[in-house]
Structure 1
Amino acid sequence: MLSNLTKTLALVVAVALLGGCATSKEKLLPHGDNTMMDIWNQNAGDGAIGGAGQVARRQLLDARQSLRRPLTDADVQAAPAEQMRYTRTARNEIHRQFLRLPNPDLVMYVYPHLAGTDPVPVPGYTTVFPLYQRVQYAMPGERVEDY
């Protein structure tokens, strides 16, 4: 019983595979006189051939129109101030947009010791060095005051 089912399943798979190879290339990918630019123009709405281009053009215009909105009086009045924020002037040229993050100094005491191949006494001393090796900057709008 199991071997009959296996044979039948194998036969169905073989017929399906051979049936897929029976399609001709010309039937699957027909050649025509249109170039890719012609096909693009027809479907994008710029072509004069057929009505499909006009439908696509109308749909494109409708989609654009739905995204547009008229400017209100408040938008028109706020536009110069909004544009000035992005304009470089002598006043805002020196404004630092990326502020430096705090880099506290660490104080270290070095105890008296002997140094070198010929042990030479070195007296104790205090030294100061920054906590971070590099200068770190904050992103615009990031909090930089003392925590």
Structure 2
Amino acid sequence: MKNTMKSFGLISLIAAAVLVSGCSTNKEKTFPHGETTMHDIWRNAGGGGMQQDLMDARSVLRRSIDDSHITNQQAYTRTAANEIYSQFKRLPNPDLVMYVYPHLAGSEGAPVPGYSTVFPLYNKVQYAMPGERLEDY
């Protein structure tokens, strides 16, 4: 039993020494800093400037963006508004103008001046089926 205790103590002492020595490493020895940057490493990673050749080829293929391309594409761009208005045309719903004459309102007889109000003829908006109405209103 004494031998097993001695061997256990020896093993734990060796393990503790290994752990302590592992924590005593130097960062500069493990990860030395040089004059090269990450950009230099990335540029030279392909072996002999292969990455630079790739970047040069990409720059030739790139086109500049100008406003003329964007404005020409507006008609082809799908939005919620042009999808609804292009497929489902609104049926005409004329506005009616009503004039309310001056009057007395309420139990106190409060005077209300005359005013005009606008309201649609139909109480909800009606839409035509696709292709049903061709003219715009």
Q: TM-score range by the shorter chain?
A: 0.3 to 0.5
Pick the structure with greater CA Rg.
2
Structure 2 length as normaliser, TM-score? 0.37
Q: Which has the higher contact order (CA 8 A, sep 6+)?
A: 2
Q: Normalized against structure 1, the TM-score is what?
A: 0.35
